Amino acid sequence: MRMAKVLMALHVLKKAGISLGNKDVFDYGFGAGTFYRYCPPSSRLFGVEIDPLNVAAVQEMLKSRGQHGADLQTIEIATWEQHPLLQRDYDVILCSHVLEHLQKPIEFLDVVCSRLRKGGVFVGLVPLNERKMDPHHVQIVFDPKIRTWARAAGLHVHAYMEDDPWLYWLQPTFTHDSGWRHTVAQLLSLGLGIPATLLGPDRWFSLSKHYAHMSGSKPVQAAFVLGVDPPKRPVLSDPMETRRPQGRRFADDKFLAGSRTGVGEDRVV
């Protein structure tokens, strides 16, 4: 869900006390570029995606909004570590729905977070509580695993939250890449973005908690902020539910930095 991801990213940054104003912001896998729309005009925007047509479309969208200095580029997964935009430093690095595709997420965090300036942060979003495993995902993600990855990469958790219960019962629909189920999933995702935008993050997340309680739904996304330096304020955690799932596990034995759906996904899971 495009807006759910954006609202969660902005909300968890707020929890961590991070402003995007006058910051260098790098989005690894910017998808439709929705997050950029909510960055202040003073933000300096950078990002990578696989599809050159997608990159050009987002670049034009930003220009139409008066953001002419954005540096958006295509990326080749086979040589991603050598990409020019990963040879410079940033204040904020965003990575939405990428880590679950990686066999070695700790190595990825090591490389990407080495590009953080002093005081910089990494913002991650991942799927939770998948009722049906997405065939492109090689990680079952949950709170303790995220914290284990962070510690192994020498990072500190500055903020953590779980939310977005709205499509929990319909989550299996979002594992299809084509056909009518895929179409329905996209329509549901876009449809829920309208009230989320109109209500704003505080009222939307409050309503989400009430809905989860009434429907028995679980949050399907987690958002977190990691930093090289320890947090200056107490770590804020706002999980709807934190539970270690049972069943299938995956060994971190082969590095994959993408999937056929792209570097970043504009999907609910």
pLDDT in tens, 211-228: 999 999 999 999 999 999
DSSP state of 173: G
At position 76, the amino acid (one-letter code) is E
Residue 161's closest CA among 25, 26, 5?
5
Rg (the chain; Cα; Å): 17
Q: Name the pLDDT band for 237 (thresholds 50, 70, 90).
A: low
CB burial of 120-140 (b: ≥16 within 10 Å; e: otherwise) equals bbbbbbbbbbbeeebebbbbb
At position 177, the amino acid (one-letter code) is D
Fold of 2-232: Rossmann fold (3.40.50)
Average pLDDT over residues 171-199: 85
- Spell out the residues 6+ positions from residue 260 whose beta carbon is closer than 8 angstroms to its own: 136
At position 169, the amino acid (one-letter code) is W
pLDDT in tens, 122-180: 999 999 999 999 999 999 999 999 999 999 999 999 999 999 999 899 889 888 888 88
pLDDT exceeds 50 at position 253: no
Tell me the pTM. Answer: 0.86
State which H helix or E strand residue 147 sits in. Answer: helix 143-152
pLDDT in tens, 87-105: 999 999 999 999 999 999 9
Domain ranges of the chain: 2-232
Report pLDDT for 202.
86
Nearest 10 degrees: Cα torsion 2, 152, 259, 50: 70
pLDDT exceeds 90 at position 8: yes
pLDDT exceeds 80 at position 81: yes
Strand order in the sheet with 90-96: 71-74, 44-49, 24-28, 90-96, 116-127, 221-227, 156-163, 236-238
